[in-house]
């Protein structure tokens, strides 16, 4: 059976939550493979709105196994709060439907404090982090001083891990003018939360391999977007993990040969939260109109998103780096009523035409978009569920995007409701 990876193909906020929820009906297992509770997915199901940060989107669907993979950094207190909130909305969550990889690194209070202190003192070029400790937690992971889920089960191991962690962090905190962390207080916090987290712990790599051998359909869910990838994004204004499709393998323990289809989620225009380059950003009434019509505010932070025209150059890049098989184009209805639409087809830099965004920050800053104009449409596309219901100009816009990004549309979303989706290619088909 086909296994599918879902990744954002822009700067995040492309509408992954709805698409993953829509696909989860066809899947048996939904696995989250990177990021932390800085991610945000909004699902609208039968009029009920669910806001998720850590939990895989499939958690709201009965009869599915949801997995938090080792590529995620996990704030246990944030997870418990999210579970409590969803339970209050009638979602049943227990170890039969949710598993956490034993080798998942934890986000601790010290990480959030460090994250915020750095950002507040960075007056030169703030990164625009969410302040939730994601970056410092990944630093400790690669620095081999992280506390992992499995460590919560053994007090002696926990003592060793805390000692190594605080040797590093208390030196950093002194330099930032912060009080040192008390080891015993941190240990008490972890021992208190341990019995609430450990029932969900499992060798996820083994569970997924067994599911694959049994012919189960697995849906791999990414967070953020490909342009926030720590290697291939607009560095340093990126997240602290690899957001590309390849991370689905290392972030869950299921090898790359298990991936059959990569679905890139692409918004019909472009948005970005926080700092960093954004070639097609609009600072005029058009940008304001896109933001208002698209309700462009972050699910987690509430921050207003920057808005601009569709950038085909960047999406073509991310389709290449993630090996995207097909895209799910979302929020087409936001463009209803525009007389003219623009698509970025290249960049002009020092008199030269480029078909990619350079890596160097100074070159990115000087690159200006080259636009192609297309006629808009006055009819509504909201809620359309077939090509026949779309205006001709909207179909031409979609087809032109396919040509420019060199990747076909597999799904087309026309509203936040999960059933307002046009299926072109089923990613789960063999």
Output the six-digit token pair for 383.
Answer: 């809620």
Q: How many CA atoms lie within 13 A of 252 on its CB side?
A: 31
Q: Which ranges constitute the DSSP H helices of 44-182?
A: 76-88, 109-121, 134-142, 155-175
Is 154 an annotated catalytic residue?
Answer: no
Under 8 Å between Cβ of 55 and 82: yes
**Catalytic-role residue among 21, 37, 41, 75:** 41
Cis? peptide before 236, omega within 30° of 0: yes
Query: Is residue 63 packed enough to be buried (19+ CB in 10 Å), middle (13-18) or exposed (0-12)?
Result: exposed
Distances (CA, A) of 111 to 131, 185, 241, 355, 362: 9, 15, 15, 39, 31
- C-alpha to C-alpha distance for 313 and 278, rounded to whole angstroms: 12
**Catalytic-role residue among 13, 115, 151, 420:** 13
Under 8 Å between Cβ of 67 and 31: yes
- C-alpha to C-alpha distance for 158 and 346, rounded to whole angstroms: 53
Return the residue matching tokens 């289809």: 261
Is 75 an annotated catalytic residue?
Answer: no
Under 8 Å between Cβ of 319 and 327: yes
List strand residue ranges (DSSP E) for 276-380, in order.
Answer: 306-308, 310-311, 326-330, 340-349, 352-354, 368-375
In sequence order, which residues have a C-beta less than 8 Å from that of residue 174 and are 6 or more positions away? Answer: 180
Output the six-digit token pair for 295.
Answer: 């309700």
> Looking at the annotation, which residues are catalytic?
13, 41
């Amino acid at each position: 059976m086909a296994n599918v990876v879902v990744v954002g193909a822009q700067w995040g906020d492309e509408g992954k939550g709805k698409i993953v929820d829509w696909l989860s009906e066809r899947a048996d297992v939904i696995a989250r493979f990177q990021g932390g509770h800085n991610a945000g997915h909004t699902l609208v199901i039968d009029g009920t709105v669910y806001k998720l940060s850590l939990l895989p989107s499939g958690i709201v669907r009965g009869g599915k196994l949801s997995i938090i993979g080792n590529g995620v950094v996990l704030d246990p207190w944030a997870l418990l709060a999210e579970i409590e909130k969803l339970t209050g909305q009638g979602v049943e969550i227990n170890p039969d439907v949710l598993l956490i990889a034993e080798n998942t690194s934890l986000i601790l209070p010290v990480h959030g404090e460090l994250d915020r202190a750095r950002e507040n003192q960075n007056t030169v070029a703030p990164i625009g982090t969410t302040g939730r400790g994601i970056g410092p937690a990944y630093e400790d992971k690669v620095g081999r001083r992280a506390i992992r889920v499995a460590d919560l089960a053994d007090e002696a191991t926990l003592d060793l891990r805390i000692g190594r962690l605080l040797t590093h962090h208390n030196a950093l905190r002194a330099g930032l003018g912060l009080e040192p962390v008390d080891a015993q207080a941190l240990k008490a916090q972890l021992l208190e939360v341990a019995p609430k987290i450990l029932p969900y712990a499992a060798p996820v790599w083994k569970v997924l391999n067994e599911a694959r051998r049994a012919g189960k359909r697995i849906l791999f869910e990414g967070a953020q977007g490909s342009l926030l990838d720590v290697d291939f994004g607009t560095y340093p204004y990126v997240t602290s993990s690899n957001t590309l499709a390849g991370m689905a393998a290392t972030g869950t323990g299921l090898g790359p040969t298990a991936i059959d289809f990569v679905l890139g989620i692409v918004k019909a225009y472009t948005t970005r939260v926080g700092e960093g380059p954004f070639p097609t950003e609009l600072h005029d009434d058009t940008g304001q109109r896109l933001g208002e019509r698209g309700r462009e505010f972050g699910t987690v932070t509430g921050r207003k998103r920057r808005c601009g025209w569709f950038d085909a150059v960047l999406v073509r890049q991310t389709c290449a780096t993630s090996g995207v098989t097909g895209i799910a184009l979302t929020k087409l209805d936001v463009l209803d009523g525009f007389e003219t639409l623009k698509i970025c087809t290249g960049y002009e830099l020092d008199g030269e035409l480029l078909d990619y965004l350079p890596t160097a920050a100074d070159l990115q800053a000087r690159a200006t978009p080259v636009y192609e104009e297309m006629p808009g449409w006055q009819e509504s596309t909201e809620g359309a569920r077939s090509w026949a219901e779309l205006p001709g100009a909207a179909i031409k816009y979609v087809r032109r995007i396919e040509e420019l990004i060199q990747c076909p549309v597999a799904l087309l979303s026309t509203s936040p409701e999960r059933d307002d989706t046009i299926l072109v290619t089923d990613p789960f088909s063999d």
